[in-house]
Structure formats: structure tokens, C-alpha cells
Structure 1
Amino acid sequence: MNLLQRARRRFELAAALDDASWSTGGNTYFGMGRPVGGEERSSAWDFEAAVRFAYKRNGPVFALMMVRQLVFAEARFQFRQIRNGRPGSLFGTTALDLLEKPWAGGTTGDLLSRMIQDADLNGNGFVTNYNPGRLKRMRPDWTIIVTGSQEEPHLAGDAIDGELIGYGYAPQGNWDNPVFLLPDQVAHFAPIPDPEFHFRGMSWLTPVVREITADSAATTHKLKFFEQGGTPQLVVSLDASVTPEAFAKFKAAMDAAHHGVDSAYKTLYLGGGADVTVAGKDLHQMDFKVTQGAGESRLAAAAGVPPSIVGFTEGLGGSSLNAGNYTAARRRFADATMRPLWRNAAGSLASIIDVPDGSELWYDDRDISFLQEDRKDAAEIQGIQSRTIRSLVDAGYEPASVVAAVEAEDFALLKHSGLYSVQLQKPGATDGAPPAPATTEEP
């Protein structure tokens, strides 16, 4: 059985899987997340639940994802030369046209926005070149990762010889008419690996689902506080002699006069026999700002975005916004979050475009406004490099080899011209020859 036949067989098994699932907290879970046969679903929770209950209804999650997306989508792609295993200069070819115009009306920014959205919500972003000359984003919840094994087919990807065979794609989740794609037809962007799987990624939202639920509950609590009048909760007790009918009338009259935000702060008048006790705490007493702010910071930590960058409460106090501290936060976000994401995206997309020999697909961040302050550091580095180049050229090394060696940080690329600086020669010496002996003229 050849590779394609094995792929088709594994895909047929994947399409026939039992979709037994259960839902809780607005999320849908599929068994243990590992269907029979070893096929890996793109995520163990429902994609639409993540979109509707996290991205579209939770302000902090939306803000974090938007910051990540806006910066991530600013990058461009170039090829980068590889010399003796070290990176060299950037260059472009017509092969990059597919990334610059991925679909009708689309740009590199649109492509990157889709990839980071899917990776944030699902842990996996899929893009295919199935249609020649165009790219297509594959919804992660309609995609499965198909793995296989020769020695132990029942274990598939978990076997010692387990390998990635391809991807199954079923628009609208219609597994009666799926499409099978080989690995070189799909760019799989999974920046956070799922420890339980070999090929599947994990969303950064997964570990903080409870924080999202708590933040949503806090927002609901705040809303209800104002909807119910914005006044302290009251317990009204009446004398035991009051009949049920009289109590019902009293309750209806009190609700009509004091229920709802439009009746907030109205003076409360009670007749004889009624006793009022304040119950519960207002937002100030429960320190609502600190409670909600701590949850936002935990979400920011999971997203890899400093609170001061996204504008969360705990990032806007004290010295957080001092120039030095903000610069450090911005650099941490760029160096520890964005650049690893760009590097992973470049490696993923390299599988579906033609990369020239002796080079790799790489990102170009030189025109990103968010990183412009880094250009000062780059200029200082270039100044040091230029002085190094001058010193090496003065020492007799060939200029072209000096530039290549400094760019690659590999002095093994240096080539000497055989000529030395005049300061290394004796006075009067030429072409490296010893000076002629002095002569004495006869008087």
C-alpha cells in the first residue's frame, strides 16, 4: 500500500469517527480529544464557542487578541540567504507574490490576521495552496490532522514510526464529502504545541478558560448592579400580622417605584411595621477594580502581552508607564511574543511556496512602526559593524569578504588580499619588499 493509498485509508477512518461530545460552560468537548485511529482534531473544544463566548463577548480577550493581531499583521516576507549555516541578507523573488496577494483583494496582512486569529482561538491555523495561484484559509474546526503508521496502524501517530499523512477538510463539517490534502499542500501554523499530541497546537486561551468565565461573571455582576438600581441590596421584613395579599400589594408597589436603573437613588418610604436591613456589598466595598484587574493581568500573561501595552488597569498605575518601563514592556512583547510568532509563521508558510535553494523564508520587520524605536539600537549596531569593517579592510582583507563575514558573524569568510597597511611596513618599503640599502656618493 503506497503513501497516497494509506493516506486515503486513514482519512476514510477519520471521516467515520464517532462524534460523541458534551458541552459545559458554553464549550463543547470531544471525548479525550483523541478519536479512534489516532487522528488529531485541530482542537478539543468547539471553535464557535471560543469565537462567540470569548472573542465576541469578553472585552479583555478581544483586546489582547486585537493587539497581537495588529502587530503580527504588519510583517512582510522575504527570503534570507543561508551561508555555512548562518543567515545572510534578505532578498525577494516572484515566488513571494503568493503571500503578497493570497486571494482576490487579499494582502499579506489579511493572511497573517487570519492565521493569528485561528491560532489564538483554536491553537491551529491552516492555509492551503489547493487552488493554483491562490491561498485558502481552512477553518480549524472543519479540519482534522491525519496520521499513520506502517508497523502499528491502530496507534497511527502515536506509533514509533507514526508520521503526518495529511489533512482532512470538510466545509460546514460535512464529512460525507471531505477533501484530503497532502502535507505539502497545507501550511499548519501551531505556535504553541499541545503536549498530548504530536502535530496539534494549543490555544493560549485553554489554560485561562476559568479566568475568562470569572471576568465575564464580574462584568455581568457590574451590569446587574446598575440594572437593579445601583443601590445596596435591601431585605424588607414586615410584621407577622400582614396578610399575604397585603404583602403582595406592598411588594408590587415597592418594585414599581424602586426597581431598575431609572429608579436608582430614589428616597425609600415605608409604612408602619416595615423594617429595612442592608444586605450584601457595593462595588467599592468588594474592591471591584482590584478583583477584575487581577484577572485581566492573568489573561495578559497567558497571551504574552504586557498589561501596559494593551491598556489594562494594572498596567496603567505607578511607574508602569514611565518611558523606560514602557520601552522594556514593548521590547519584551516584540522579542518574546511577536518575533517567535513571525518565525513560526514563516516556517509554516514555507511548505506551500517555492523557496530558492540556499535560503529560507523569513519575516521582514524593518517597516513596522511599533518597532521603530528598535531602529536606534540597529543603527548603533551598524555603527559598530562599520568600524569593524574599516579595521579589517585597513588590515588588508578583501572588502567583499569583510562585509560577508560581518553580516554572517563568521570570520572564517574573511579573505586576505596579501597587502598590508603602510603602518606595518618599514619607511620607504614598497609592495612588501625590503627598502634598498642607502648609498654614499664620492665627494
Structure 2
Amino acid sequence: MSKTNITSRIPGFHSMSVEARIARLAELTDLDEAAIAQLSNTGNLEVETADRMIENVVGTMNIPVGVATNLIVDGREILVPMATEESSVVAAVCNAAKQCRSAGGIATSSSGPLMIAQVQLLGVSDPENARFKILERREEIKAICDETDPVLLKFGGGFRDLEVRVLETDDGPMVITHLIVDTGDAMGANAVNSMAEAVGPRIEAWTGGRVLLRILSNLADRRLVRARGVWKLENIGGAEVRDGMLSAFRFADADPYRAATHNKGIMNGVTAVVMASGNDTRAIEAGAHAFAARSGRYRSLTRWEGDAEGNLVGLLEMPMAVGLVGGATKIHPTAQTALKIMGVSKADELARVIAAVGLAQNFAALKVLATTGVQKGHMSLHAKNIAAMAGALGEEVELVAAKLKEMGKVRVDIAERLLAELRGGKA
């Protein structure tokens, strides 16, 4: 039984060592020795590194890292580490990539590493006049931004453009300034936020208004990446399979209820590579879903067509604000290893690989939905997890999983019965 007099008020918790935090947590919540040992085991991430990454660290959460094979991206053979807890995700990419190899794999392109910082101006009675005043100061704004981050400027980045919008809201008109910044190989949040902070007081002086928010936008629609793949009819099972996949796509593009799960499938692959590379999964997810709704209706991130030869063509376009410098990408040793495996040296290269994986993931999902159904393939791969949940150990896992797949019923209660029968037979 856990203690009933627990308090979440722990003065000085943030300044304790990790060991002391764990001990205090155990005291408050009655953790047993096994739980304490589990928290204390930080795996391949040193506890000192973990403690520098976030606040109040008491442990780590290890996620399996698999490697997607068979991928050809822009003519280059590439192995892609993917960090995910969901079975069938890595296998799906491998299968999809294998089926488009004869057509040359997946081609990609990008719009460049441009990020947007927003400066919110309130309290102006003449918003259009204020808008023009800000636009007239473009060169001054450029100088302020570039002076804010000279290192970024040194490596070829910096201020690129200026947009100013008048936004009608329930609080009246707001004047929103967009700073368009080339962030190079960085994701760029810190750089563009600093620029917005520096520009804010000057906008107030020019317009007589009041600046409130100064923050980047995760709808990085100036930082798009695109992936295109062709799957030949003979490799996917013929025209019937192609037409079924096209119908499944059209359903997703027309119905937001279907699109939500359709795009979640794309993000299964995207997020797994973003995670493995130490990038910000939440930023990518937020940008992707906002981009999917840019028309005013939530739609598919992908497009699917038949080409003149009848082959299936897949296209993916989405924001991809990832970086190779700064954040967990530079700190986490597994992220560094993942980048080495991929052989990427530029943020743009990483973004393109991620898009290719997202497109392959979507192909795999559409194909299984249009043919065997999602449960058959997914639950087949999930059988080992179910066997382990039932208490199977060692070789028992494979034996119970094989029987579950043979029966076509991947359930914990059935796995428990099979395990009991297996152990009874050994007695």
C-alpha cells in the first residue's frame, strides 16, 4: 500500500543529487528495492548527462532503437535508426522500401532551413499604418537580427525576410511581425527567439504600440521537405492493390476522422527518426498537423496517384525543422551514433531522410489496410509482446507467440493459457 500522507512539496528537490532525489521519492511513495534499482539504471545514458538535460531527474525511459533497411534516398543506400515502442513500425518501412527499390527508391527535395519568429504588437489604433512602418524598417530589423546571433551569420545563416500581418481577433486587431531566418544546421528556436526579443522594443518605439509575445512558430511552412516514390505494379500486387490504396488515400483526404489516423501512421515513421536523432518530436508533430489543416480542413499529408504506366506514385510534403547542432542532438550519445549510422552531415540531409521514411511508412499502412487489414500484420508482430506480458520467459516467448499467430488470436488471456499448458507439459 502506498502512503496516504504523501506531499508533492519537496523543498530543494531540484538541487539534490540524482541519488538523493531517488531516495526521497522512494521514501514518499514506498518504492521497493526493485523500483529503486530500475530508476537508478540509466542504461547507455550517463546519469550526469541526463541530469544536465532536464530538471529533477530520477531516471531514464529507454526506448528500443531499430534500424530500417532497404532504403534508397536520392540514389544513396542508407540505414536509418528509428526509436519507437510500437511493433511493426520498423518492419513496415523495411518492406515498403524494398518494394520501391526497382524504381530507384525515394527522391527528396527541400525549401531550405527557414524558420519564423513572431512578434505580437497590441494597442495600436492604426494597425495598417503600423504594418507599413514596420515594413519600412526592414534593413534596420535585419541588422538587429544578424547582430543578435553573429555565430549563425558566420556560418551562412541569419535574417532573410520580413512579413507583417494585421490579424483580426476577439481582442481587436493585432499586428504580427514575422522574422524569416535561415538557421542553417540548427533547429533554430533559440536563435529566432533571441532575435524576436531584440526586435520587440524597436517595434514598440516605431509604432507606439505594446509588444507582448516574441516566440518562434512551429508551423515551419518556410522549411518544407518533400519525398516522392514510385511503386511498380508488379512489386505491389497489381492494379487491384493500387486502386485499393488510392481509395484509402482519398478517404483520408476527404474525412478528418480518417486523416487523423492516416497522418498518425506517417508520424510513426517520422517521429521515430526524429527521436533517434535527438530532435524535438513535439515541434515536428505540431508543425505537421497544423500544416495538414492549412486549407481550413484537416487533410492527408500525403498525395497518391497513378502515373502514365499505371504505377503508384506517393508524394509527401511537410514542415521539418530538425537540426544537427544544439539540444539533445549534440548531448545524447545514442543520437550521435544514429547520425553516424545514417551518414548525414547536414540538417537538410536529415530532414530529407525523415521525409522518405514518412512516405514509406504511409505506403505500408495504406497497403495493409487495402489488402490484409491492419490487425493481421500488426498483431502478428505484437505476439511476442503479448507472450511476455503473459509471463513467458526465454524460449517460451517464441513458442507462445508462434501459437498465438497460428490461432490468429493475439490476446493476453489466451497467451496465459498457452503458457500454462506449455509449462504443464514440461513438468
TM-score by length of 2: 0.19
- Radius of gyration: which is bigger? 1
Normalized per residue, which structure has more strand? 2
Normalized per residue, which structure has more helix? 2
